[in-house]
Structure 1
Amino acid sequence: MKLLLLLCLMDCFLAIAQTSSGTFNVLNYGAMADGISDDSKAFMAAWKAACSFTGGVKLLIPKGTYLVGPVKFDGPCRNVSSITVSMEGYMKASTNLSKYVSGDDWIQFGWVHHLTLTGGGTFDGQGALSWPFNECSKTEKCRVLPSSIKFVYTEHTVMNSIKSLNSKFFHIVLLGCKNFWGSNIVAQAPSDSPNTDGFHIERSLGVNIYNSVITTGDDCISIGQSNEQVVISGITCGPGHGISVGSLGRYENEGDVKGLLIKDCTLSGTANGLRIKTWKNSPGKSSVSNLTFQNIILNSVANPIIIDQAYCPYADCSSKVPSLVSIRDIIFSDIRGTSTTPVAVTLKCSSGVPCENVNLHDVHLRYVGGSPTIAECLNVQATYSGTQLPLPCN
C-alpha cells in the first residue's frame, strides 16, 4: 500500500515538474498508449493545458501506440511563444467514419503560430477500410473522406521527420498557411488508393517542402488555388499521379497561383509527371503565372510534361465552354528521363485564353518503346532552347 502511494506521488511530482517546465506529456493526462483505448480526450486535455501556458511549450507524445481521433489542436494560444509537438509514437486513426462529422479531418492544427511538429513518429490513417466508400472520382456529389493531417491558418510552421501511412483521403493539407517548412516527410499509400495526395496546398503563402519521399495513389503534391511563393525541392515521387498544379477553375472566385519553383525532384513510375490542369468549364477567371520546373528526372513516367486545360474526371463532361484560367510565363528547364507513352510533351491550352510564354529549355525525354517521342500542342505560345526531345510541335 505504501509502495503504491509512493508511486502515485512520484507520478504527481513528475507531472507537476513537467508542467512547470512547459512540457505536457499525454500519458500524464490519461493516455493509455495501448492501441485499443481511445486516447482522444487525453490528447485534447494535454493540448488545452499546453495552449494555456505562458512561453515556449512542448506537447510530448512518447513511444507507444495511440488510438486517436478526430482531434483538433486549435488556437489561438495567446501567451505561448512557440509550440513543439514531439510525436515519437505510433498514432492510429479511428476507422469509424461516423465519428467524423461533415468537414472534419483526423488531426488538425489550426490558428497557431510558431508550431513545430517533429519527433520521428507515424500517423496511420488506416484508410484501407474507408477507400471503398470514396466515390469522388466518379461523381461530384460525394462524401469527402477525412484527410490525415491538416494545418489551418497557421503561421511559421515547421514539420519534419514525420511519417504518414494510408490516409483515408489526403495525407497532409495546408489551408491558408503562411511560412511553412516541411522536410524529411514520408507519405505512403498503395498505388490504387483513391485521392491519397501526399501534400495538398491551398490559399497559402511562403511554403517550402523538401527532401521528402511520397508514394501514393494520387498526386504526390497538388497545388490548388490561391497560392504564392511555393518551393518544392528534393522530392522522390512514385508511384502516384506526379506533381500537379491544379485542378484549377472548378469554382467561382478562385485566387491566382503564382511564383512556384519545383526543382531537383525524381519521379518514377507515375501516371503523370509535371502537370498543370484546369477544368474545361470553369465558372470564373483566374490565372497561373511565373512557374518554373527545373532539374527534374522522370523515370518511366506517362505524360511527362502536360498542360491540360480540358480536365474533367467524370463520365459526363459534355460542356463545350473553354477554361477561363489563363496560363503564362511557365518554364520547363532541364527535364530528362523516359516516357511510357509516345507523347512525352502535351501542351493543350484553352481556346478561351491560350497559354502565353511557355518556355522549354533542355528537355530530353525518350520513349521506353524505342520509337521517337512526340509533342502535341494546342492554343499555346511556346518557345524552345537547348536540347529538344521530342522535337517542338510548333
Structure 2
Amino acid sequence: MARQGIMISLFVIVLIVSSSSAAEILADEPTYNVLDFGAVGDGNTNDTQAFVNAWSVICLNSTVPSTLYIPTSKTFLLDRIVFQGPCNNVIHVKVDGNLKRTNEIWKENFNSWLLFIQISGLRIYGSGELDGQGTNWWSCKEQNQCSEDAPDSLQMLSCTDAQIWGLRSINSTMMHISVAKSERVDIAGITIVTPDNSPNTDGIHVQESRHVSIRDSIIGTGDDCVSLSEGAEDISISNVTCGPGHGISIGSLGKNGSRATASNIYVSNCTLTQTTNGVRIKTWQGASGFARNISFVNITMNDVRYPIIIDQYYCPHSVCDAQASAVEVSDVKYIGVTGSSSAEVAVALNCSQSVPCSGIVMDTVNLWPANEGEELRSHCIGANGSARNQVTPAVPCLTQ
C-alpha cells in the first residue's frame, strides 16, 4: 500500500515539475495566434479553417517548442477539428479564449469535437472555456432520434507526455475529456459543469492508457465524474470534488463478453456530494479479465445514494441473461471512507458466485444515514476479505 502511494506521488511530482517548466519557457517560444490565420472570434463566424491552417503551420514548420495561442475576450465557433501529429517539436496550446461547438447534430459518426492525435509533449492549458452546446443532442438521444454516441468535447488519442490543465468545460454532447491509448498524461485544475440530467456526459474518461494523473478538479455532470475503462493502468485520482454525477467509476468492464483489465488505481482525498454513487467498480456478466490493486483512500461522502459499490452483474438493460464468467475483482482497499448515505444499502458488494471478489479490505469506514432516524446496512454476495478497525455499517462477509 505504502509502496504504491509513493510510486504514484513521484509520478505526479514529475508531471508538476514539467508543467512549471513549460510555463516558464513560454515567453521565449514562437507564438502562433489564430487571429493571424483569419479567425474572427465573434462567436458567430465559423473559424474552423483558420484553426486548421494555424495547426498545420505550427505542427509541421516549428523546429523549436512553440505555442498556438487562442486569445482572451474572444469566442471561436468551431466544427470538428483533428489536430494531427506527429509534430516536428513540442506544441503548447494556450486557450485563453472560449471555444464553442457549432450547434448542430452531426450525421457523421464523429467520436470527438476537438481531437488531438499522435502527439508527444502536448500541453493544453489556459483560462478559456469549451462549450459543447449539447442541449439539442441530449434531447435527440432521449427521444431515440439520433445515435447514442455523440462526440466527446476534447479527446486525446495516442499521445505521450501530455498535459491538460486550467480549462473549463460545459455542456458537452457526451464525455468532456477523454484519454485513450496514451501514456503519461496529467490533467489538473479542470472545472466541468453540465446538468445532472444530461445523458452520458462523463467528466473525464480514461481507457487503454497508462500513467495518468487526474487532480485538483471540480466536476459536476450527468454521468460519472471520472470513469476508468478497459486498459486503464497506473491511474491516480486525487483532490477531485464530484457532484452532481454518478460518482467515480471503474468500468463498466467487459461489455459483449470481451476481456477487459484495469489495475494499479489509486483514488485519494476526493469529496462526493449528492451523487448517485460514490466509488464504484462495475463489470459485465459473461466477460473475462481483471480489475485489481485498487485503493480508495480518504474519501468523503455527502448525502451520496450508494457510497460503496462492487457490481459484477452490471447491466443497464431491462433484461440480461445470467452468465457464469466474469471479470475477476481482487485486492480492493477502502481506507478512511466516511460520510452520509441517502439509501439504506450503503455498502453493496454484489460479486459473482463463480468468480468471487477477493482481497477486499475495509479499514476505518464510517457511513451514517443522511436522513435522521434511518439505519444503514450492507449487502454482500460472493466477496472475501477483511474488515479492520471501525467499519460501519458492518459487512458480514469480511472477516474481522
TM-score > 0.5 by shorter chain: yes
Contact map agreement 1:279 1:323 (CA 8 A) in 2: no
Question: Within 2, Cα distance between the matches of 1:341 and 1:308?
Answer: 16
Shift of residue 115, structure 1, vs aligned partner = 0.7
Counterpart position of 1:119: 126
Q: Is residue 91 of structure 2 the alignment partner of residue 86 of structure 1? A: no
**Distance of 1:377 and 1:190 partners within structure 2:** 33
1:102 to 100, 105, 109: 109
Q: Is contact 1:233-1:262 (8 Å) kept?
A: yes
Amino acid across the alignment from 1:339: S
CA distance in 1: counterparts of 2:380 and 2:131, whole angstroms: 42
Matched-pair contact (CA < 8 Å) for 1:227–1:255: no
| 1:263 equivalent in structure 2 | 268
Deviations 1:187-212 (A, max 9, x none): 11001000110011000000001000
**8 A contact 1:249–1:323 mirrored in 2:** no
Correspondence for 1:57 among 66, 74, 78: 66
1:68 is aligned to: 78
Alignment partner of 1:343 out of 328, 332, 345: 345
Aligned partner of 2:215 among 187, 210, 213? 210
Query: C-alpha displacement at 1:379, in angstroms?
Result: 0.6
Task: Give the stretch that moved more between structures: 46-55 or 127-136.
Answer: 127-136
- Residue 224 and residue 265 in structure 1: after superposition, are their counterparts in 2 closer, same or farther (change >3 A)? same
Which residue of structure 1 lines up, in the alignment, with residue 311 of structure 2?
308
Aligned-partner SS, 2:277? coil
- Give secondary structure in 2 for the equivalent of 1:31: coil
Deviations 1:133-184 (A, max 9, x none): 2259x89x94400110000011001111100000000000000110000110
Name the counterpart of 2:327.
325
**Conservation of the 8 A alpha-carbon contact between 1:310 and 1:323:** no
Letter in 2 for 1:26: V
For 1:143 and 1:346, the matched residues in 2 are separated by 29
In structure 2, what is the equivalent of residue 154 of structure 1? 159
Aligned twin of 2:10: none
Report what 1:187 is aligned to: 192
For residue 362 of structure 1, what is the aligned residue in structure 2?
364
For 1:239, what is the secondary structure of its paired residue? coil
Partners of 1:208 and 1:164 lie apart in 2 by: 18
Partner SS for 1:228 = strand
Q: Equivalent residue for 2:3?
A: none
Q: Deviations over 1:52-83 (max 9, x none)?
A: 11110100000201101200111011x21x11
In structure 1, C-alpha distance between the alignment counterparts of 2:259 and 2:147, rounded to whole Å: 21
- The answer on 1:376 being equivalent to 2:382 is no
Asked if 1:48 is matched to 2:56, the reply is: yes
Where 2:57 maps in the other structure, the secondary structure is helix
Match of 2:36 in 1: 28
SS of equivalent to 1:120: coil
> Structure 1 segments of 4 or more deviating over 3 A?
251-255
Identity %: 35
Question: What 5-or-longer segments of structure 1 have no aligned partner?
Answer: 1-19
**TM-score (structure 1 length as normaliser):** 0.90
Q: TM-score, length-normalised on structure 2?
A: 0.89
**Letter in structure 2 aligned against 1:146:** P
Greater mean deviation of Cα atoms: 287-296 or 21-30:
21-30
Greater CA deviation, 263-272 or 372-381? 372-381
CA distance in 1 between partners of 2:274 and 2:136 (Å):
26
What is the distance in 1 between the residues matched to 2:249 and 2:32? 39
Assess if the C-alpha contact under 8 Å between 2:253 and 2:260 holds in 1: no
Does structure 1 retain, via aligned residues, the 8 Å contact 2:260–2:327? no
CA contact 1:26–1:60 (8 Å) conserved in 2: yes
Structure 1 residues 308 and 21: alpha-carbon distance in aligned structure 2, compared to 1, 3 A threshold = closer
Q: Over aligned residues, Cα RMSD in angstroms?
A: 1.8
Residue 310 of structure 1 deviates from its aligned partner by 1.0
Aligned residues between the structures:
368
How far does residue 119 in structure 1 lie from its aligned partner after superposition?
1.2
Flag the structure with larger Rg.
Answer: 1
- 2:46 aligns to what? 38
1:219 and 2:228 equivalent? no
Contact 1:226/1:254 (<8 A) preserved: no
- Report how far residue 323 of structure 1 moved: 4.6
Secondary structure of the corresponding residue to residue 35 of structure 2 = helix
For 2:135, the equivalent position in structure 1 comes to 128
- Shift of residue 367, structure 1, vs aligned partner: 1.0
What SS is found at the alignment partner of 1:47? helix
Q: Give the drift of 1:23.
A: 1.2
Q: Which residue of 1 aligns with 2:6?
A: none
Amino acid at match of 1:216: T
In the alignment, is the contact (CA less than 8 A) between 1:309 and 1:323 conserved in 2? no
Instruction: Output the CA distance in 2 between the equivalents of 1:102 and 1:372.
Output: 48
Cα distance, 1:255 vs structure 2: 3.8
